[in-house]
Amino acid sequence: MAKLPQINQINTSNTTINLSSTWGIRSTYHFLSIVLIFLVISIFYFNQYDGSKPLPPSSSSPPPSKNNDFVKEMVHKCDYFSGKWVFDNVSHPLYKEKECSFMADQLACERYGRKDLNYQYWRWQPNHCDLLRFNATTLLEKLRNKRLMFVGDSLNRNQWISMMCMVESAIPHSPKSMQMNGSLFTYKAIEYNATIEFYWAPLLVESNSDDPINHRVHERIARTQAIEKHARYWTDADFLIFDSYLWWRVPFMKVLWGNFESSDGIYKDVEMLKGYEMTLQTWSDWLEIHVNHSKTQIFWMSMSPTHERSEEWGGASGLNCYNETQPIKKKDYWGSGSDPNMMRLVEASIDNLRKRGLNIQLLNITQLSEYRKDAHLSIYRKQWKPQKEEQLSNPSGYADCFHWCLPGVPDTWNEILYTYIVSSL
């Protein structure tokens, strides 16, 4: 990870200046003037540097020199979600896969055989501004004695693991812990008393897919009016980051009125968008009542796109993200893996919550992620079941074009999230 260079310390305690030597007083003043000029230039440099451009690594990374008002103004003015991907093998990747002790086998593409690593070196460049350079110690200071929690499905878990790797790269030897309590996974940076958590709730509301390990359920059932089972774990979080998308990609969702323990519940197949809207209403109502409006900052991560139809970006028909090694160059590309109707429902819910006094921000990472057909897991992950011979003969048939290799695209999501968090009060 790129870090700010340090000002060299000048130690003159053991230096004796002989005023009666041939250098004389004038040379002494000349020497001191050079030192003074050097210090003035260094101070000016740090006051001007905004932390947004990559610099060579150094041993430590001080917090950004700009004050909080400047960062807040920058966030207000900048559209971080419109831009382009720039190949940058100097400042990226932000960490190394092998050095992250929390890397999951499902996301470790290099470990599972991917040779082309260019997917790690693309940096997102907004059109008219720069992303604030990620600084793990600054984030941890912001999170001191606080809770940051990701809530949602495996894409949110993808982002959570990315965040832990980004943070650990700056504090590799600091004491830390990891705990699992049902659907709640908690990483704690002990020195800061800061937690970065993930809560598994793929449909947000209660469902028959709520087990974080054994949740491969073909017929999903949601209790669209029941959320307390999950939400009681979210109440005291200082930062909440939600997502829910992939598990809704079915024409109809089976909805239960009643509970799973009773036999007298009413089951009904509901058109997906209607079920999604019902769930967002339940989620919104809970947030309005139970979340501290002055304390908790809420984010919604928009849809993480899938890349399952290569003909949409000019590839051969019948293929997907398998063997793709370059981003999509087409401007404003939008594939069938993202649903605008679902996005509009989320936007409406967020607008309504803002009117009700909640501090909530939509982070629209969909468009920038649409370009990255090259960065999915494809076949480079741990396979929970050995692939049969006929499957191995057709790799695109079992390629994962939903989730993302790490380091990779979710790191950019976290860079954007980081900018909003450090700009908060």
Give the residue numbers annotated as catalytic, written as ranges.
154, 400, 403
Q: Would you say the C-alpha torsion 5, 11, 17, 22 has a positive or negative sign?
A: negative
Q: Could you tell me whether strands 147-152 and 239-242 are parallel, antiparallel, or unpaired per DSSP bridges?
A: parallel
- Using DSSP's 3-state secondary structure scheme, residue 189 falls into strand
- For residue 279, what are the β-bridge partners? none
Q: Could you tell me whether strands 376-378 and 400-404 are parallel, antiparallel, or unpaired per DSSP bridges?
A: antiparallel
Could you tell me the CA-to-CA distances from 43 to 40, 46, 64, 134, 145 in Å, in that order?
5, 5, 13, 22, 32
DSSP string over 19-74: TTSSSHHHHHHHHHHHHHHHHHHHHHHHHH--S-S-----S--PPPSS-HHHHHHH
For residue 324, which phi and psi values (nearest 5 degrees)?
-85, 130
Tokens found for residue 162: 């990315």
User: Measured between alpha carbons, how far is 43 from 212 in angstroms, rounded to an integer?
Assistant: 50
DSSP state of 261: T
Tokens found for residue 369: 């992620």
Q: Could you tell me whether strands 297-301 and 360-363 are parallel, antiparallel, or unpaired per DSSP bridges?
A: parallel
Angle at 250 between CA 244 and CA 253, to 5 degrees: 80
